[in-house]
Amino acid sequence: MRLRIELLLASFAAVSAVQAASVRERICEGGAPSFSRDGRRMAFQRAVDGRMRVGVLDLKTGATTWTEQAGDACHPFFAADGSLVYSYANITNTAHVRFVKKGPQDGYGIRRWKDGVATDITHGLWRDYQPSVSPDMRVYFCTQREVPDVPSPRIDSVPLEGGAPKPFLLPVGERYLNASLGQPVVSPDGRMVAWAQLNTFYDSWHVVAARMDDLGRECAVSPPGMVAYAPRWSPDGRMIAFTGYREGDPRWCVYLASLETGGVKRLCEGEDPDFTPDGRAVAYSDRGAVYRQALGPDDIPAAPSGACAWDEPGRVAFSTNGVPADLMNVELPKSCTWGRRTCFIRARFVWDGDAKCLQDVCRAGWHPVNSSLQLYIKDGYANFSVRDINWNQTYLPARKRLSGAGEHSLVGIRTQDAMYFSVDGGPVSTAYLLRNVASLDKPDKMMFQASGFRPQKKILSCEIGTGWPGDVPKPLTLVELGAAR
C-alpha cells in the first residue's frame, strides 16, 4: 500500500513537472522575440562581443543565423512576406570625417533582411528605430529626424521596398515638454494601430491604440496607474500584449488586453511580448532569455468591474459670458464643491494669433492649491493643466497648434486618475495622473490673467462643471475599438 502511494505521488509530481514545463518554455538566450508568420523562425536580439546583434532562430533545427557581422542591430520584426526589418547602425567614421570631410552619414536606420541579403530602407545621420510592418507592406517606425514644422520623436511610415518616409503620427504637444511616441504596430487586419506614448515629462509611458481611419480618437490600452510599452497584436486581432508595471507587481510583467471584454490582465513576469503565429502562446524576454508560455482559458482578461467615470452626465455649476480682459478674478460659488469627482473647465475666446508669448485663457482655483484647473496657450499650442494633492501640476498640450487667429474653444476634463483635452470640438487627447488629484472642496476664484501670462483680449464665455460634457467626444474603449475589426 505504501509503495502504491509513493508511486502515485511520484506520478503526480512528474505530471506537474510536465505541465509546468509546458507553461513556460525557454527558447534561447536573448530578448525582443518576433515570429515569422509561418511559425518556423523567431528573430531576437542579443549582445555579442559588445555589439547588439539580431539573430534568426530556426525553431525546428535550433540553428541561429546572424543578420549582421558588424555594427549594432536591434528591434527585429518579421513581415508577412518572410522578410525581417530591424534598426541598424555601423558608426565607422569620426565626427571630423562626417562634418569636415563630408564622409558617409552614419546613424540608426531601418534595414530589411531577406534570403540572407540586407538592404537599407532608411539611412542617414539620425535615429530611426522600433520598426514594424503592416499587412499592406508599409514600415512604421519611430524617428528623430528633423523635418520643418514637424515635431519629433514621432512615427513615420515608408513602403517596405523603400522610398521617402512620411510623417504618420505626431506626439502630443511639442518638444519642450518631452512628448514622444514609439513602438508602432498595425493590427493583422490593417484597421487599427497601437503604440507607446509619453505626453510630457510629467507623464508616464502608456500604451494607446486607434483606428487607422480616425487616429485622433485614441483608446487607452494600458490602465491608469501603470507604466506600459511594447504592444503587440494577437494574430486574430482580439488581444494586445504589452509590457507593464503597476503597484503590486514584482517587476516588469507581460499584460494582455482584450478587445472583446475590455479587460486587462497580468500574464506573467517578463518584457517585450509577441504572440506565436497560431495565437496559442506568448513569447517574451525575461532575465536575458526568451521564453514561450502557453495561453489557457484563464488567461483571457475578464470584463472590468465598476462604472466608467465618463458615465456621469455633464452639469454646469458656474458660467460667465463676456468677461472683460482687465477682470482679475470672480468668486466661485459653493455649488463648485466637488471633492475628487470628474469635472471640466471650458472657455470660448478670440485669439489674436500671436504664438510668441505665453497667454492665459482662464484658471479655476480651490483652496489650498489655487489654480487647480487651467487653460493657456504656449507657442501656439493650447494646454490644459491640473494640480495634484502635492500642488504639482500635470500638463496636457494639444497635438497640433491652434488653427489661427479667431474664435476657439477649449475643454479640459479631469477624472480621478486621468485628464482629457479637446480643442475646437475635436477628439480628446489623454494624460494619466501619476499622483492623486487635489480635492476641490473649497472654491476660490475664477481667474483670467496671472503674472508672467498675457491675458486674452476677448473671452466669449467660460464655464466649469462636473461630469463629462455631452458635446465632447469620449475616448474609445477597448470594446469600441474592437468593433472596427
**Among 299, 330, 359, where does a domain finish?**
299
Length of the chain: 485
Mean pLDDT score of the chain: 87
Lowest mean pLDDT among 26-40, 231-245, 322-336: 322-336
Whether residues 367 and 229 fall in one domain: no
Lowest mean pLDDT among 15-19, 56-60, 148-152, 251-255: 15-19
Give residue 400's pLDDT band: very low, low, confident or very high (50, 70, 90): confident
Cβ neighbours for 1, distance < 8 A, ≥ 6 positions apart? none
pLDDT at position 398 over 50: yes
| Residue range 181-192: mean pLDDT, rounded | 96
Instruction: At 277, give phi and psi (nearest 5°).
Output: -60, -25
DSSP string for residues in 302-338: PPPPS--GGGSBPEEEEEEEEE-TT--EEEPPGGG--
Give residue 96's pLDDT band: very low, low, confident or very high (50, 70, 90): low
Q: How far apart are CA 274 and CA 279, in angstroms?
A: 10
In a domain, 177, yes or no: yes
In a domain, 21, yes or no: no
**Residue 182 near residue 168 (C-beta atoms within 8 A):** no
Whether residues 273 and 358 fall in one domain: no
Whether residues 226 and 365 fall in one domain: no
Cβ neighbours for 375, distance < 8 A, ≥ 6 positions apart? 345, 347, 361, 362, 363, 382, 383, 384, 410, 412
In a domain, 484, yes or no: no
| Residue range 11-31: mean pLDDT, rounded | 62
Whether residues 346 and 271 fall in one domain: no
Whether residues 259 and 333 fall in one domain: no
∠ at Cα 283 (280, 285), nearest 5°? 165
Query: What would the pLDDT profile of 354-372 be if each residue is shown by its tens digit?
Result: 998 899 999 999 988 777 8
| Residue range 110-139: mean pLDDT, rounded | 94
Give residue 22's pLDDT band: very low, low, confident or very high (50, 70, 90): very low
| Residue range 141-157: mean pLDDT, rounded | 86
**Residue 92 near residue 72 (C-beta atoms within 8 A):** no
Cβ neighbours for 316, distance < 8 A, ≥ 6 positions apart? 463, 464, 465
In a domain, 16, yes or no: no
What is residue 5's predicted lDDT score, i.e. its pLDDT? 37
Whether residues 66 and 191 fall in one domain: yes
Helical spans, DSSP H, in 51-187: 95
What is residue 484's predicted lDDT score, i.e. its pLDDT? 67
For 98, the enclosing helix (H) or strand (E) is none
In a domain, 372, yes or no: yes
Lowest mean pLDDT among 37-41, 175-179, 205-209, 279-283: 175-179
What is residue 309's predicted lDDT score, i.e. its pLDDT? 75
Q: What is the total count of domains within the chain?
A: 2
Q: Which domain holds residue 368?
A: 314-466
| Residue range 220-224: mean pLDDT, rounded | 91
CATH code of 65's domain: 2.120.10.30
What is residue 2's predicted lDDT score, i.e. its pLDDT? 43
What is residue 437's predicted lDDT score, i.e. its pLDDT? 83
Residue of 94 and 470 predicted with greater confidence = 470
Whether residues 116 and 265 fall in one domain: yes
Whether residues 278 and 326 fall in one domain: no
Whether residues 293 and 440 fall in one domain: no
Give residue 105's pLDDT band: very low, low, confident or very high (50, 70, 90): low
| Residue range 181-193: mean pLDDT, rounded | 96
b (16+ CB within 10 A) / e for 392-423: eebbbbbbbbbeeeeebbbbbbbbebbbbbbb
Cell of residue 29, nine digits: 538566450
**Among 275, 299, 323, where does a domain finish?**
299
Find cell 531576437 and name the residue: 44
**Among 266, 299, 332, where does a domain finish?**
299
Whether residues 195 and 250 fall in one domain: yes
Query: What would the pLDDT profile of 285-319 be if each residue is shown by its tens digit?
Result: 999 999 999 999 999 999 988 767 788 899 999 99
Whether residues 38 and 171 fall in one domain: yes
Q: How far apart are CA 163 and CA 121, in angstroms?
A: 7
CATH code of 375's domain: 2.60.120.200
Cell of residue 67, nine digits: 543578420
In a domain, 1, yes or no: no
CA 50 vs. chain centroid, Å, equals 30
Give residue 394's pLDDT band: very low, low, confident or very high (50, 70, 90): confident
Whether residues 168 and 252 fall in one domain: yes
**Residue 398 near residue 433 (C-beta atoms within 8 A):** no
Q: Which of 176, 170, 174, 146 is nearest to 156 (CA)?
A: 170
What is residue 17's predicted lDDT score, i.e. its pLDDT? 37
Give residue 147's pLDDT band: very low, low, confident or very high (50, 70, 90): confident
